[in-house]
Structure 1
Amino acid sequence: MIKGKTKSGFNYAISQERMENYEMIEALNELDKNPMKLPKVINLLLGNDGAKRLKDHVRTDDGIVPSKVMMNEIQEIFESHKQTKN
């Protein structure tokens, strides 16, 4: 289980099984070629409830969920995991 908090204050806990899910690895590979795969990566990584919590966390006052902010949060989670793994 990896747990952490992004710089923006989003708390996450991700099981090792989710981190090692082959379908998530496939989705990450597809994400390089197609940014439209971001929702799939987020759902596979955080689960439906975690994805909803992240969307609510980054939602603007106007109700918009900025895709760039979502991508930054996910990148930060992966980078944090990479640092703790080494």
Structure 2
Amino acid sequence: MINGKTKSGFKYSIDENVITDFEFIENLENVMENGVGLSKTLVILLGEKQKKALINYVRDKKTKRVPIKDVMKEVEDILSNPKIKNL
């Protein structure tokens, strides 16, 4: 398991086998190329429970909305973890 914390403070735990999984890479490519499939990519990367935790973590306290830019910022931060990048 890879445990980490984003710059903003979101704590996560990822199975290192997910990072080299074909379905994860395929979904991540779709997100990066055309923005499609972010929700499924998050489930593969974090699991349903941590995905929900991330969504609630970035949820705007006033509007109760979840800004996509904030979700993407956290995902990019997670994927930039040296333990993940070196797999």
Asked whether the two chains share a fold, i.e. TM above 0.5, the reply is yes
- Structure 2: which 5+ residue stretches go unaligned? none
Q: By how many angstroms is 1:5 displaced?
A: 0.5
Q: Deviations over 1:14-56 (max 9, x none)?
A: 0112222211011011112221321121111001101000001
Determine the C-alpha separation between the residues in 2 that align with 1:78 and 1:10: 13
Say how many residue pairs are matched. 84
Aligned position for 2:59: 59
Identify which range, 15-24 or 72-81, moves more after superposition: 15-24
Q: Quote the sequence identity (%).
A: 38
Aligned position for 2:11: 11
* TM-score, length-scaled by structure 2: 0.87
The two structures, once aligned, show a CA RMSD in angstroms of 1.4
Aligned position for 1:72: 73
* TM-score, length-scaled by structure 1: 0.88
- Structure 1: which 5+ residue stretches go unaligned? none
**Runs of 4+ more than 3 Å apart:** none
